[in-house]
Amino acid sequence: MDDQQRRTLGLREHGWLRDDEAISGVPFYYAVTGLPDDRVAKVAYFDHRWQIMRRLRDEVGSWTGRYASKEEALAAVQAEWGAL
């Protein structure tokens, strides 16, 4: 598959930080968009790093990775699943 056939993946805000009862507006959890229907990926910031959780059909993986930014985590998903 050449570069023109690669899927373009993106991030959609999916969760925001809370400060007591108010939502701060700072997103920390994203859904990866543009994947085939049988795949799901989430990107989230916790434990002082960005991590990825992948699901293929009904098989859910663990949170993995140590990424400096959400964009770096998305690039890892793009490298793995972007050519599907």
pLDDT of residue 75: 96
Distance CA(31)–CA(81), nearest Å, equals 14
Tokens standing for 78? 């793009």
Tell me the per-residue pLDDT of 69-82, one tens digit each, with 9 for 90 and over. 999 999 999 998 87
pLDDT of residue 2: 46
Sorted by where each begins, the domain ranges of the chain are: 3-81
Find where tokens 């992948």 sit.
54
With a CB cutoff of 8 Å and minimum separation 6, the contacts of 35 are: 7, 9, 41, 81, 84
pLDDT lower than 70: segments of the chain: 1-5, 17-26, 83-84
**Whole-prediction pTM:** 0.79
